[in-house]
Amino acid sequence: MKFLRIKAIAKKELIQIWRDPLSLALAFMMPVLLLLIFGYAISLDVDNLTTIVYDADRSSTSRELIDELTASGYFSIVRFADSQREIDTYLDTGNARVAISIPMDFAKTVRTGGTAQLQIIVDGSDSNTATIALGYLSALTELYSQRIAGERITPLIEPRVRVWYNPELKSRNFIIPGLIAVIMMVIAALLTSLTFAREWERGTMEQLISTPVKPQELILGKLIPYFLIGFIDMALTVLMAVFLFDVPLRGNVFILGIVSGVFLFGALGLGIIISIVAKSQLVASQISMVATFLPSFLLSGFMFAISNMPVPLQIISRIIPARYFIIVLKGIFLKGNPLRILVMDAIFLLIFGAAVFVVANKKLQKKMV
Amino acid sequence: MQRTSERIRQMVIKEFIQILRDTRMKAIVFVIPVLQTLVFGFAVTTDVNNVPTAVIDLDKSFESRELIRRFEASGYFNIQVMPGSPAQVQELLDRSTVTVALQINPKFGSDLSRRIPTSIQLLADGTDSNTATVALDYANRIIKKYAQDLAGPSSLSARVDVRQRAWYNPELKSKNYNVPGVIAMVIMLTSLLLTSMAVVREREMGTMEQLMVTPLKPVELILGKTIPFALIAFFDMILITMLGVLLFDIPINGPLLLLPLSTAIYLLSVLGIGLFISTIAKTQQQALMATFLFYMPAVLLSGFMFPIENMPEMFQYATYVNPLRYFLVIIRGIFLKGNGIAILWPPMAALFLLGIGVFALSAFRFRKRLG
């Protein structure tokens, strides 16, 4: 391996990148745009649920209950229905997600000490929102019935709840560190998955083969410029997370930098393997989507808890580098973990990077002869 | 007119030969939708079950064991460790071994047996805010239920009885929500990427010039370039629907015929956007990146996983030009709600108008670039 040849290849690649300013601009825009959308537009917190109310009772008691539900902020009433039938239409068209129906004798039953019935229908097609909405509703009505019953008994067992690392349970703090891993995985693959495929398609690969350059030099030379771009992206996203979105960065920035570098090397290497194997840009682009975006988005524990998945998928998730990088990112950002706790995850990323490099070498060697 | 359809037919055949010549491409057209459906059907659940839990039982009384049993029996919590001292909890949470820790202090049992109000400690890892919220809600309910059972029925009779029902998806299964959405996502990704890259490749390789000297008219060229991908999209749609129904038991409550019709309308916009990207991108690399730059926000701002009404108003307006948004409403309406055309015509009309607009704009730009 000669440093000179690596440098020459890296320089050639840099010139080629420089000649395509649109791609370069997109490489920097993508993480910024995605973080902005995730940071500002997306929230898993459930509030302002569109609600339709059918109040057949029209008493002060029923209005009090409705006021209480609205005051919680979780429900925003879009319509007071005139008939039970109207509820169907609103739920069918999706104009409301929750329907609350108060029967005619509600106030009377409550006054006389009977048990009044309250009918609640939620649109279950979005199961997550529905579960959370039902939780809110039963808690609120329970509070209400305790109050009108006039018996404010202290419960026998009082749960004292503490939430660590993210006390206000902000979904932003949860999403953004994980998102950095997903973005980096995708960007890395997008950057490198076309590099070799392009040379094959244009026939310039033959020219490279006829030079004395060795496979590992070629791979490293092509990797270095993209590593620089990827690292700038990484720094950009971390800066945005901390300064724009106020995600706490409690751990060591230096460790974050090193582990990110290791992760990036593996992710870029994976793109290079795809590029060597695919030989055509169209095929490479499709493979890289399946191999990087899907697993890192869905199977990494970024949003969907791994403990919930069926066992075969849990096993698959163990070989997904994004899974380990997300643990490191969340550990350093939110938990302030020291290296001692993260060392196993970092070692896995290191092994992944090394393995990817070896495989890329082997594949290229075979194709070059 | 006869000649036009013949020319388009030849162009479509050429396009198919080019795409499917690569055996890997054949596999990809088949594998991507299957893989996505499997992953979404199996892995993507926001249902909170089996939360890894630590229990520190410092009391070891009948009451504390009963409460722990109730936590386990609920199915929501998976008790993995029972450390002897609270000091170990920090490490367990730091290492993400557990998400929730329940600490029962000494005297818990003796307080309860004398009916003295007592307390219990719940600790949650807030890193995953969604799981934490739901898990804490479950834990609170289990504890409250236990307290009520102990206190007996008289003291806390709920005066308002809530009758809850969830329509369209009574068991609140995530897969019923996600799998129909996969159709929309797969169609968008494959069609966008194939259209934009195939056109740019032609230009990159210089074969676009060859096509231009043939008697093909620009309109025929556009149709010839888009029809193959539309057919692939239809194939993917049928494949995912079959997988969803046969493997995941997703109900189809509405008229099945609306599915191909609305897919066709949806494809107008998607192929239009693909063409548009191809008029901007000069290289396949640019096409790939631009496609992704459009695709990711389109998925995120569609209501696929994140409810639109939770977004700030500005972003809510932006979703009106997102074809995915309308198609998701339509497709979920057909599958889960059993909606017919009487209810679905507004989103379908909106999608149609959007599609015509986008396609016309792209075709115009495409022709200009040819000339």
So what's the ipTM on this one? 0.76
Q: Is A244 helix (H, G, I), strand (E, B) or coil?
A: helix
Contact A172, A45 (CB under 8 A): no
Please list the ranges in chain B whose pLDDT falls under 70.
Answer: 1-2, 46, 152-166, 170-172, 370-371
- List the 238-297 stretch of B: residues with Cβ below 8 A of A: 281-286, 288-290, 292-293, 296-297
> How crowded is residue A260: how many other Cβ atoms within 10 Å of its Cβ?
24
Q: What confidence score (pLDDT) does residue A253 get?
A: 92
Q: Is B26 helix (H, G, I), strand (E, B) or coil?
A: helix
> How crowded is residue B209: how many other Cβ atoms within 10 Å of its Cβ?
10
Candidates A94, A170, A310; nearest CB to B129: A170
Candidates B43, B133, B158; nearest CB to A145: B158
Contact B104, B69 (CB under 8 A): no
Q: What confidence score (pLDDT) does residue B155 get?
A: 46
Distance of CA A333 to the CA centre of its chain: 15
CB contact under 8 A, B127 and A335: yes
* A interface test, pick of B53, B91, B129, B189 with most A CB neighbours within 10 Å: B129
CB contact under 8 A, A308 and B47: yes
Domains, chain A, ranges and CATH?
8-42+170-368 (no CATH), 49-149 (3.40.1710.10)
User: pLDDT tens digit string along B41-66?
Assistant: 887 776 778 888 999 999 889 889 99
In whole angstroms, what is the distance from residue B177 CA to residue A126 CA? 6
The minimum CA-CA distance between B194 and chain A, rounded to whole Å, is 7
Maximum Cα interatomic distance, chain A, rounded to a whole number of Å: 95
Candidates B43, B159, B172; nearest CB to A145: B159
In whole angstroms, what is the distance from residue A62 CA to residue A70 CA? 13
Tell me the residue length of chain A.
369
Tokens 């005066």 found at: B159
In whole angstroms, what is the distance from residue A54 CA to residue A77 CA? 11
Candidates A130, A156, A304; nearest CB to B115: A156
Q: What confidence score (pLDDT) does residue B352 get?
A: 94
B176: closest CA among B28, B47, B1, B35? B47
Which residues does residue A163 pair with via DSSP β-bridges, in sequence order? B124
Q: What confidence score (pLDDT) does residue A287 get?
A: 85
- B187: which chain A residues are within 8 Å (Cβ-Cβ)? none
Candidates A42, A161, A166; nearest CB to B306: A42
Is any Cβ of chain A less than 8 angstroms from the Cβ of B299? no
Candidates B35, B137, B174; nearest CB to A128: B174
In whole angstroms, what is the distance from residue A265 CA to residue B82 CA? 39
CB contact under 8 A, A282 and B46: no
CB contact under 8 A, A125 and B94: no
- Whole-prediction pTM value? 0.80
What residue of B is the nearest CA neighbor of A46? B310
Tokens matching residue B323: 């074809």
CB contact under 8 A, A286 and B28: yes
In whole angstroms, what is the distance from residue B180 CA to residue A115 CA? 41
The minimum CA-CA distance between A45 and chain B, rounded to whole Å, is 8
Is any Cβ of chain A less than 8 angstroms from the Cβ of B125? yes
Is any Cβ of chain A less than 8 angstroms from the Cβ of B155? yes
The minimum CA-CA distance between B3 and chain A, rounded to whole Å, is 31
- B286: which chain A residues are within 8 Å (Cβ-Cβ)? 20, 22-23, 26
CB contact under 8 A, A48 and B310: yes
> Under 8 Å CB-to-CB from A215, ≥6 apart: which residues?
A361, A364, A365, A368
- B293: which chain A residues are within 8 Å (Cβ-Cβ)? 26, 29-30, 33
CB contact under 8 A, B166 and A43: no
Strands A49-55 and A98-102: parallel
B192: closest CA among B294, B287, B289, B270? B270
Candidates B151, B159, B284; nearest CB to A194: B284
CB contact under 8 A, A41 and B311: yes
User: pLDDT tens digit string along B249-263?
Assistant: 888 888 888 999 999
- From residue B99, alpha-carbon distances to A181, A306, A336, B74, B260 in Å are 21, 12, 16, 16, 44
Q: For A54, left (φ over 0), alpha (ψ -120 to 50), or beta?
A: beta
* A interface test, pick of B289, B299, B337, B344 with most A CB neighbours within 10 Å: B289
The minimum CA-CA distance between A356 and chain B, rounded to whole Å, is 21
The minimum CA-CA distance between A98 and chain B, rounded to whole Å, is 9
- List the 50-109 stretch of B: residues with Cβ below 8 A of A: 50-52, 78, 93-96
The minimum CA-CA distance between A309 and chain B, rounded to whole Å, is 5
Candidates B94, B177, B309; nearest CB to A50: B309
Sign of the torsion angle spanned by Cα atoms A273, A277, A279, A285: negative
Candidates A129, A164, A304; nearest CB to B123: A164
DSSP per-residue string spanning A14-73: HHHHHT-HHHHHHHHHHHHHHHHIIIII------SEEEEEEESS-SHHHHHHHHHHHHTS
CB contact under 8 A, A125 and B193: no
What residue of B is the nearest CA neighbor of A123? B167
Each residue's pLDDT, cut to its tens digit, for chain A (369 residues) gives 778 888 888 898 889 888 888 888 888 988 898 888 878 877 766 777 889 999 988 888 888 888 888 888 888 888 898 888 888 888 887 788 888 888 888 888 877 777 788 888 888 777 777 877 888 887 888 778 777 766 555 666 677 777 777 777 777 888 888 888 988 888 888 889 888 888 888 888 888 888 888 888 989 999 999 999 999 999 999 999 999 988 889 889 999 999 999 999 999 999 999 999 887 888 888 888 778 888 888 888 887 777 778 888 888 888 889 999 998 998 899 888 888 888 889 999 999 999 999 999 999 888 776
Strands B51-57 and B100-104: parallel
CB contact under 8 A, B120 and A305: no
What residue of B is the nearest CA neighbor of A190? B289
Q: DSSP code of B309?
A: G
- A144: which chain B residues are within 8 Å (Cβ-Cβ)? 160
Q: What confidence score (pLDDT) does residue B354 get?
A: 94
A130: closest CA among A163, A102, A96? A96
